[in-house]
Amino acid sequence: MATITPTLTLTSNASGATTPGPLSVALSLSATGGLTVDTVQSKIITFADATSHVVLWDGDVLSGGDGAGGTAGGFCYFKNTHASAIVYIGIEHDGGSASDLGAANQADDGSATAAFRLFSLKPDEFAWMPFDGTCDIIGDSSAAATLECWYFDRG
């Protein structure tokens, strides 16, 4: 088992400063945690165009089909490395599709196989999230794009 130490630091000036921040007060927030992991997987995903839809992480493969809360899973890191395209990250369950994750007003259509957008990454944006492996994490993009993906398996 190995330990990784993710650190998130957010700082900004008060809105009245010479270089203003978004709040009326200065912000300094930091969170650090030691996480036990046993394996790491990484890949670079290349979306050829806006019609390229990809399963980024297969939940059944990663969790061994377990997916029970707190017993399986790990942590995902995503970074949009493209200069102008937007990358969409979502989930699907039981045969859903990554198509149209970028569609406006995406909502639950009542289907057991639907795909849902979790978030969008503009150029150089990144995300870190825990993942229990109860579904698949999927990706789509607004145009040709490149996405860096890492999965750290809980130890």
Residue for token digits 């849902």? 116
At residue 72, the pLDDT reads 77
**Are the C-beta atoms of residues 136 and 62 closer than 8 Å to each other?**
no
Mean pLDDT of 69-79: 86
DSSP 68-120: -TTTS-EEEEEEE--SS--EEEEEE-SS---TTTT-TT----S-TT-EEEEEE
| 76-94 residue pLDDT tens | 999 999 999 999 999 886 5
At residue 110, the pLDDT reads 55
At residue 99, the pLDDT reads 58
Task: State the pLDDT confidence band at 11, using cuts at 50, 70 and 90.
Answer: very high
What CA–CA distance (Å, rounded) separates 86 from 118?
A: 13
Alpha-carbon distances of 154 from 38, 60, 93, 128, rounded to whole Å:
6, 15, 22, 14
| Four-point Cα dihedral 63, 65, 71, 77, nearest 10 | 20
Residue 127 CB neighbours (<10 A)? 15
| Four-point Cα dihedral 149, 130, 6, 117, nearest 10 | 50
At residue 155, the pLDDT reads 82
With 0-12 / 13-18 / 19 or more C-beta atoms within 10 angstroms meaning exposed / middle / buried, residue 133 is buried
Mean pLDDT of 43-66: 86
What is the set of domains in the chain, with CATH numbers? 1-33 (no CATH), 39-154 (2.60.120.770)
Give me the chain's average pLDDT, please: 86
At residue 94, the pLDDT reads 58
Among candidate residues 89, 76, 88, 68, the one with its CA nearest the CA of residue 131: 76
| 94-152 residue pLDDT tens | 555 555 677 755 555 555 556 788 999 999 999 999 998 888 899 989 999 999 999 99
